[in-house]
Structure 1
Amino acid sequence: MNRELWLLRHGKAEHNGDIADFDRCLTAKGERDVKRMGLWLKQEGLCPDILISSPAKRALGTAGIIADTLGLKKPSLQQDGRLYFQGIVGLKKVLADIPVSPGRVLLVGHNPDLEDLLAYLVGMGHLPGSAGPMMPTAALVRLHMPADWSHLPANCAQLLAMTHASSLS
């Protein structure tokens, strides 16, 4: 069975020292970039079977825009606290709990966790070099994964595509 894992970093969020990190919302630019990513996914005929988001406001806002743009039913959008700065261990636990049936799983979360998971699953030698972050805000990575996600070893995935919202017209 072919399975794909999609990692989407939330859109650009406000930076206001008076707001707790968890409660930071998307900026207007962040909303535009995420909408652009959602429209691109729709245009490419790419739709996840399951969408799981960090419960942080900026991640939920990102997931909601993607779900709305793709016309996903609300029950397909799930929240999981282990996607909010729990490191690779937390992310791997989320993945281990996903049933085998969904072919395309989209996680919406945060750096550095998403980049760390990407490097772990693919291996640094298989990632494109860049002066900036591998996954800037509203960036999407698609990975070809093994069928069983209960115990994911390092270097078990293949990078299919890396798309930055800033590169989409």
Structure 2
Amino acid sequence: MVLRHAKSERNHPVDDHERPLAERGRREAPLAGRWLREHGHRVDLLRCSTALRARQTCEAVLAELETAPELVSDPRLYGADAATLLEVIHGLPEDTHTALLIAHNPGLSELVGALSGQEVELKTSAMAVLEQETPWSGTAPGHSVLVETVTPRPPTAP
């Protein structure tokens, strides 16, 4: 599974790596974790970009899960293209059943498209769930099935 970080502050006077979540992002990030829990997705390993907005998204997601997965902050995920993300996947422990990457676009959308053969645009807080029969080290373009994409959003007021 992959999750694009929640909405971040665009006009924040810090380096891009240190941009925090915007108010909207702080509201939406927990919804991703809640969606995972409510749909029975158990995460064994969570790899997260070291960017502040990704770490804050990760914390909000973790707070909603029933069981805490192993968490690894991975600097390679910051600004990673699809090829780098695929390298990260190739290095996942083979005994990991379900992994979640929290990172950035355009790399995540490109990765999902390459693996599944289906074009996707992951907006902020969007997730893609993919399945494959091969071990992590054998992950390759066209060998995964895109099960679903979801962008959890708060209910709108009537």
Asked if Structure 1 and Structure 2 have the same fold, meaning a TM-score greater than 0.5 normalized by the shorter chain, the answer is yes
| 1:91 partner amino acid | L
Distance 2:88 2:147 in 1: 21
Q: Which moved more, 1:46-55 or 1:105-114?
A: 46-55
Match of 1:41, SS?
A: helix
The answer for the alignment partner of 2:91 in structure 1 is: 97
Instruction: Name stretches of at least 5 consecutive residues in structure 2 with no aligned partner.
Output: none
Distance 2:29 2:89 in 1: 23
Alignment length (residue pairs): 155
Match of 1:38, SS?
A: helix
Match of 1:142, SS?
A: strand
Distance 1:61 1:72 in 2: 18
Q: How does 1:10-159 map to 2 (within 5 A)?
A: 10-16=5-11, 18-73=13-68, 76-124=70-118, 127=119, 134-159=121-146
Query: For the Cα contact (< 8 Å) 1:9–1:108, is it kept in 2?
Result: yes
CA distances 1:97-118 after superposition (whole Å, capped 9, x unpaired): 1111111100000000000101
CA distances 1:34-89 after superposition (whole Å, capped 9, x unpaired): 1122122222222211111000000011111111111444x711111111113122
% identical equivalent positions: 30
Distance 2:94 2:58 in 1: 22
Higher relative contact order (CA 8 A, sep 6+): 1
Query: For the Cα contact (< 8 Å) 1:54–1:81, is it kept in 2?
Result: yes
| 1:96 partner amino acid | H
Instruction: Name stretches of at least 5 consecutive residues in structure 1 with no aligned partner.
Output: 1-5, 129-133
Give the CA RMSD over aligned residues: 1.7
TM-score by length of 2: 0.90
TM-score by length of 1: 0.85
